[in-house]
Amino acid sequence: MKRITLINGDGIGPEISEAVMDIIDASGLKIDWDIQSAGADVIDSEGTPLPERVLNSIKQNKVALKAPVTTPIGKGFRSVNVQLRKALDLYANLRPCKNLPNVKTKFNNVDIVVVRENTEDLYAGIERQVDADTAESIKVITRAASERIAKFAFDYAVKNNRKEVCVVTKANIMKLSDGLFLDCFRNVSNLYPQIAKREILVDNLCMQLVQNPSQFDVLVLPNLYGDIVSDLCAGLIGGLGVAQGANIGKDYAVFEPVHGSAPDIKEQNKANPTALLLSAIEMLKYIGETQYALKIERALYKTFEQSLFTCDLGGNLATTEFTKAIIDNI
């Protein structure tokens, strides 16, 4: 039986984790969940929101499913997510954004995969106050990180039968940093003659995405543009309740929804488990359990086709009722 780390999070995390475990169990796939609590709830007892045991569990199991955790404001703790990405070198942030049946959005046929570089760029955290009225942030782009993220995007495209990879930069202005990212993309792209290539400037991309998003397939971006564009793409398909994500490195992978711990609806049986479920489906594909992943995906799609929704998508089902509907469809 496959052992997988489950960080069940806080806020709505435990409720949606229960839902996803029940759905996977109903599919017939047996998983030995190594449940590790993290976040606000363990700070008092363990002194940190990310105890060493959580990292050790992921290092042992290689793969984790993660529900959201609260980042306490003003207590001096670094975000659990940022710490995880750093400690496990999860260099690729993957955000597939695809329309779901009957979820009302402005466009149909959106099926975009955003691949965001997760370790450098303006997120390297190199800032300084020059004087009282001036501050600087350094944008770091390296050949090693740019080549590996381009390679990741092309490998993903090949593995998932995607047709095109489009690189997004502002290389006309930042000729050295974004220029290097673009140059690395061009070099790597030569290794994948079967995949079409496209280059676009980030401002033009944003306009095109809100006018005609179905023209895009796989996008690969440096960290900051990737962060912004992936939220834009989440908005195209119905927002937080359905936006999935993953952080992937050479040795480890952590799959998680985009949304946070939603303390405003905690323990009210209102949370939508779809984003965590879609993240889990992507995780099952990643570990090679594609058959089960597709089985669960079909049941989820069928549930949406029946217009069965939680409140955030305009329905009236509780988390547990929505979960039961998916299980019935399996």
List interacting residues with ligand NAI (CB under 6 A): 12, 68-71, 81, 240-241, 256, 259-265, 271-272, 275, 312
Q: What whole-number distance in Å separates Cα of residue 248 and Cα of residue 231?
A: 18
Contact 244, 95 (CB under 8 A): yes
What are residue 151's phi and psi, to 5 degrees? -65, -40
CA torsion through residues 56, 60, 62, 65, sign: negative
What are residue 130's phi and psi, to 5 degrees? -75, -50
Mutual angle of helices 177-189 and 143-159, in 10-degree steps: 40
Can you list the alpha helix ranges (DSSP code H) found in 118-169? Answer: 143-159
Residue with Cβ nearer ligand NAI (61 or 261): 261
**Smallest gap, in angstroms, from Cβ of residue 296 to ligand NAI?**
17
Residue with Cβ nearer ligand NAI (24 or 182): 24
**Smallest gap, in angstroms, from Cβ of residue 71 to ligand NAI?**
3
**Smallest gap, in angstroms, from Cβ of residue 316 to ligand NAI?**
13
**Smallest gap, in angstroms, from Cβ of residue 12 to ligand NAI?**
6
Q: What whole-number distance in Å separates Cα of residue 208 and Cα of residue 102?
A: 24
Residue with Cβ nearer ligand NAI (12 or 220): 12
Residue with Cβ nearer ligand NAI (5 or 169): 5
Closest-by-Cβ residue to ligand NAI is 260
Residue with Cβ nearer ligand NAI (19 or 112): 19
**Smallest gap, in angstroms, from Cβ of residue 240 to ligand NAI?**
5
Q: Give the total residue count for the chain.
A: 330
Contact 313, 325 (CB under 8 A): no
